Amino acid sequence: MKIESSPIKYTLGENKSPLTYKIHFILADEKDNPLLAGFQDQWKSGKFRGESKQKFVDETSKTIFLGLGKPENLPLRNLAGMFIELGKNLRKLEGVGYEIFLRQEITSHYDCERLVYQIVNSIDLGYFDIRVLATKDQEKKKPGSVSFQTEEISIDKKILSGIKKAQAVSKQVNGARYIAHLPSNYFRPQEFEERSREIAKDHKLKITVFNEPQLKKMGMNGILAVSRGTDNAGKMIILDYNPPGAKKTFAIVGKGLTFDTGGISLKPSAEMHEMKYDMCGASATIHAIAAIASLKTKIRVVAAIGTAENMPDGRAYKPGDVYTAYNGLTVEVQNTDAEGRLVLGDVLSYVCDKIKPDYMVDLATLTGAAIMALGHETAAVLSKNEEFIAKIKQASELSDDRVWELPLWDEYGEGLKSDIADLRNIAGGKGAGTISAGIFLSHFVDKDIPWAHLDIAGTAWRKKGSGTQTNGPTGYGVRLLVELAEILSR
């Protein structure tokens, strides 16, 4: 379960690839830039005017012009989208390299480190081969390299640190995408343990794995209930990154259902295969802690995942069953397809109890309702803590892993009352399924811990990419958490 790095080399200066394309950024007001001499027709016709997202390739001179629009604000999404495409091309075209020119006119407008970070990150994500199990027609071509040319030596250091950060992060985003791609006969709770051990080894993190016998002793009956219908036993896995000088503890909790059939409340078959992605929250969680550790961010991070498989069988838990959660609450299961909240409930209350974090987030592909509400462009964020949400939004702006707030008002939880137990696992009725799921989780979180729930059902995978997000599994959350950890460490 080794985590692969991108094979693309990033350097400063001239590019020595067999075939090199020069890449120039052009701003919307640069009509008379000498670089565009000979291309005035394109400008006049509107084909290329340096507008954001515009791209113009001159095959004769092997030059690619990329529009940045008006220099006021860096169009992060458009920049990333263009470089994800260019990364895809590096895979298709043997030996092709890019020489990217960062003119003074460009670098004077933007934070160079961030610019280079986005470029490198996006190329690496675009280059990643999503046909992870294909054996035929695999394009095993050797990519060229990518180099940066500047006019001032003084920014070389910033470029190098941008490259370094991007490589550490893109490795983990692609790592998260890789295991998300793996189907449930390749990737089970057992493999989640192997992957987590690999991460612990690579970054010298403490790891604790809780298997069924311990889960039983601890009373983690949510994970156990969900796991009853399968031979692939559920687990709770905890990674702990505790660097010297850390002042705060940030806990990240992830939903790791390696497959969700719905259980006895069986899902319809149409899109069921997509439920191999029901582990994307946990995948982002363990790869984010890896990225944070490699960047040496000065904050203690605890990554805790609950991993299980939700299957119907003779032993499976049934609608109407009641179990007692780790925190003592009794829960009536009225729908075995609302399983993520049962697994997360146990992990959240365990983390509150034993780790007592200063901040906590959870990432989960928790409800189809999140896709109904927001589609695939943004995750839903729910929290009662305004200050914490503000920090998450800040991290979201930097990473462009987008978040949109939904309310976490108690009124939405009215439907979670059970006739015979403390709680039931669905709210009933039609609307606001994402919010009632969030309220359900809130019953397992200490009131005084700043906590936010991220429903990533829409963003964890998508048919068509956009902005910083690729098609297929996106690795959503890794980049967000890297920025959030940095913000919380200050």
Binding interface with Zn ion (CB under 5 A): 257, 260, 278, 340
| Buried-exposed string 231-270: b where 16+ CB fall within 10 A, e elsewhere | ebbbbbbbbbbeeeeeeebbbbbbbbbbbbbbbbbebeee
In whole angstroms, how close is the CB of 65 to ligand BES at the nearest point? 39
In whole angstroms, how close is the CB of 428 to ligand BES at the nearest point? 9
How far apart are alpha carbons 249 and 450 in whole angstroms?
11
In whole angstroms, how close is the CB of 246 to Mn ion at the nearest point? 36
Q: Which of these ranges, 98-106, 191-199, 330-338, 350-358, lies near ligand BES under the rule CB under 6 A? A: 330-338
In whole angstroms, how close is the CB of 21 to Mn ion at the nearest point? 46
Active-site residue, 267 included: yes
Q: Note whether 324 binds ligand BES by CB under 6 A.
A: no
Which one of the listed residues 197, 267, 318, 384 is annotated catalytic?
267
How far apart are alpha carbons 382 and 407 in whole angstroms?
6
For residue 88, give the amino acid letter: K
415-444 positions binding ligand BES, by CB under 6 A: 426, 433
The listed partner (ligand BES, Mn ion, Zn ion, none) that binds 369, CB under 5 to 8 Å by sort, is ligand BES
Binding interface with Mn ion (CB under 5 A): 260, 337, 339
For residue 128, give the amino acid letter: F
Q: Which of these ranges, 71-79, 216-224, 240-248, 335-343, lies near ligand BES under the rule CB under 6 A? A: 335-343
Angle at 129 between CA 128 and CA 134, to 5 degrees: 160
248-277 positions binding ligand BES, by CB under 6 A: 260
How far apart are alpha carbons 355 and 64 in whole angstroms?
51
Which one of the listed residues 228, 300, 341, 402 is annotated catalytic?
341
How far apart are alpha carbons 409 and 459 in whole angstroms?
24
- Distance (Å) of CA 160 to CA 16, 149, 167, 193: 18, 12, 11, 34
| Residue closer to ligand BES (CB basis): 8 or 275 | 275
One of 67, 162, 254, 340 touching ligand BES (CB under 6 A): 340
Q: Nearest Cα to 252, choosing from 358, 126, 394, 169?
A: 358
Active-site residue, 384 included: no
How far apart are alpha carbons 330 and 370 in whole angstroms?
26
| Residue closer to ligand BES (CB basis): 120 or 435 | 435
In whole angstroms, how close is the CB of 303 to ligand BES at the nearest point? 20
The listed partner (ligand BES, Zn ion, Mn ion, none) that binds 438, CB under 5 to 8 Å by sort, is none
Q: Nearest Cα to 65, choosing from 90, 36, 91?
A: 36
* DSSP track, 454-480: EE-TTTSEESS-BTTBPSEE--TTHHH
450-469 positions binding ligand BES, by CB under 6 A: 457
Q: Which of these ranges, 72-80, 185-193, 316-324, 367-375, lies near ligand BES under the rule CB under 6 A? A: 367-375
Q: Which residues are catalytic?
A: 267, 341
Interface residues toward ligand BES, by CB under 6 A: 260, 278, 335, 337-340, 365-369, 371, 426, 433, 457
